[in-house]
């Protein structure tokens, strides 16, 4: 295909003008040839496009011939295509038919109107999708409750599989993260409290901030990133391959088959992960307090019992089921919204993670305000 050379020469003969094409009239050399053809001016009288020296013709070449002929004809010349073999003639005819079927595209709306319409659609769309999420949440909760009432209908294998995926496999990362957060809290707390000679309060600082807030919040954020995205991507891929449609036609409810096991798995495992995070954080903080301030482990535990009631742990853990449901529902919902392209899976997965983390933080803030108003 390289070095495709085509010559275009215009000759005047007694009977009119002849445009002589020579060489390979193919797509590889189309750009320069098209420029040469554009330079040809119509003249009154007959013009012949002579192909007898053309070695190869493809659909792009035929397109060029036909558009050139039509332009010259429109400008007032009588144009004929000559010197074609049967194969070329049939190719030109085929392309001609194809070109005749092209309809002009509707004009695009103006930029500003487009923008205004876009903003309007965006706002309406956001509200509609919020309602859609609420509906999805409602259906999921209803199905989950239905299964809890009739536990024999529960699909045990997928539930265990997802518990393994979202729970056990997340143990190491959650433990490590929380342990490091504990160390950071211990270290920062120690360096501040030392200034007042209030070293022992480091235990309260670590315990309250971890148990009430950070342990479960950071766990939820990690789980949203790990499992929310996994839910969206796996359900989205199934959506693309029409597996969800297939399920529906087989009388299987996708919510019950796909969403409920994932939600239940998170509902069970997120509190466990949160508890592990709390313990790991206390371990890290205690270690730091011991090294930095000489607070012995025995002392740490005693102070922990004295100053931090079991309430602090409960206040943290009570949020876990809410986080679990919102992460699972947002992930699955976004997966169900995947449509058409592979790119859509990526967009929906990103949206699932961002929305889930955002929702987790909002719920956390609501709980914080609630608990402090209650004086807990």
The binding site for another protein (CB under 8 A) comprises 1-2, 26-28, 30-31, 34, 57-60, 63, 67, 86-88, 90-91, 94-95, 97-103, 105, 339-344
Taking the least distance from each CB to another protein, the nearer of 188 and 344 is 344
Q: How far is the CB of 252 from another protein (least distance, A)?
A: 23
**Residue 146 region, left (φ>0) first, then alpha (ψ -120 to 50), else beta?**
alpha
Distance, in Å, from the CA atom of 250 to the CA atom of 302, rounded to the nearest integer, reads 60
Yes or no: say if 209 and 188 are a contact pair by the CB < 8 Å rule.
no
Q: How far is the CB of 77 from another protein (least distance, A)?
A: 21
DSSP 8-class letter at 109: P
Taking the least distance from each CB to another protein, the nearer of 86 and 294 is 86
Q: How far is the CB of 189 from another protein (least distance, A)?
A: 50
Taking the least distance from each CB to another protein, the nearer of 25 and 77 is 25
Taking the least distance from each CB to another protein, the nearer of 67 and 188 is 67
Taking the least distance from each CB to another protein, the nearer of 180 and 246 is 246
Q: How far is the CB of 67 from another protein (least distance, A)?
A: 8
Q: How far is the CB of 124 from another protein (least distance, A)?
A: 22
Distance, in Å, from the CA atom of 140 to the CA atom of 59, rounded to the nearest integer, reads 55
Taking the least distance from each CB to another protein, the nearer of 92 and 207 is 92
260-293 vs 215-223: helix axis angle to the nearest 10?
130
Yes or no: say if 190 and 293 are a contact pair by the CB < 8 Å rule.
yes
Q: How far is the CB of 270 from another protein (least distance, A)?
A: 34
**Residues counted in the chain:** 376
Nearest to 263 by CA among 132, 150, 144: 144
List, in order, residues 6 or more apart from 96 with CB less than 8 Å away: 62, 66
Q: Count of CB atoms within 10 A of residue 98's CB? A: 13
């Amino acid at each position: 295909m390289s070095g495709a050379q085509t010559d275009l020469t215009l000759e005047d003969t007694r009977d009119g003008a002849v445009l002589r094409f020579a060489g390979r009239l193919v797509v590889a050399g189309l750009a320069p040839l098209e420029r040469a053809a554009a330079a040809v001016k119509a003249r009154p009288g007959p013009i012949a496009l002579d192909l007898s020296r053309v070695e190869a013709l493809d659909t792009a070449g035929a397109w060029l011939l036909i558009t050139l002929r039509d332009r010259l004809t429109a400008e007032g010349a009588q144009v004929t295509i000559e010197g074609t073999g049967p194969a070329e003639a049939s190719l030109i005819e085929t392309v001609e038919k194809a070109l005749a079927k092209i309809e002009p595209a509707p004009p695009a709306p103006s930029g500003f109107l487009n923008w205004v319409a876009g903003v309007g659609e965006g706002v309406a769309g956001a509200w509609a999708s919020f309602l859609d999420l609420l509906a999805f949440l409602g259906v999921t909760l209803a199905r989950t409750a239905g299964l809890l009432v009739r536990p024999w209908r529960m699909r045990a294998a997928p539930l265990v599989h997802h518990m393994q995926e979202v729970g056990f496999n997340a143990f190491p990362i959650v433990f490590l993260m929380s342990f490091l957060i504990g160390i950071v809290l211990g270290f920062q707390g120690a360096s501040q409290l030392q200034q007042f000679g209030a070293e022992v309060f480091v235990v309260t600082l670590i315990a309250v901030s971890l148990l009430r807030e950070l342990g479960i919040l950071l766990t939820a954020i990690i789980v949203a990133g790990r499992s929310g995205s996994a839910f969206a991507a796996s359900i989205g891929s199934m959506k693309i391959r029409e597996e969800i449609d297939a399920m529906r036609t087989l009388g299987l409810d996708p919510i019950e088959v796909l969403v409920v096991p994932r939600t239940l798995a998170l509902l069970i495992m997120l509190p466990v992960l949160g508890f592990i995070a709390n313990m790991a954080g206390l371990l890290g903080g205690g270690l730091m307090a011991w090294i930095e301030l000489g607070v012995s482990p025995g002392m740490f535990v005693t102070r922990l019992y004295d100053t931090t009631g079991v309430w602090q742990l409960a206040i943290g853990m009570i949020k876990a089921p809410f986080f679990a449901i919102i992460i699972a529902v947002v992930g699955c919902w976004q997966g169900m919204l995947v449509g058409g392209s592979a790119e859509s899976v990526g967009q929906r997965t990103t949206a699932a993670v961002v929305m889930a983390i955002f929702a987790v933080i909002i719920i956390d803030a609501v709980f914080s305000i609630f608990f402090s108003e209650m004086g807990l």
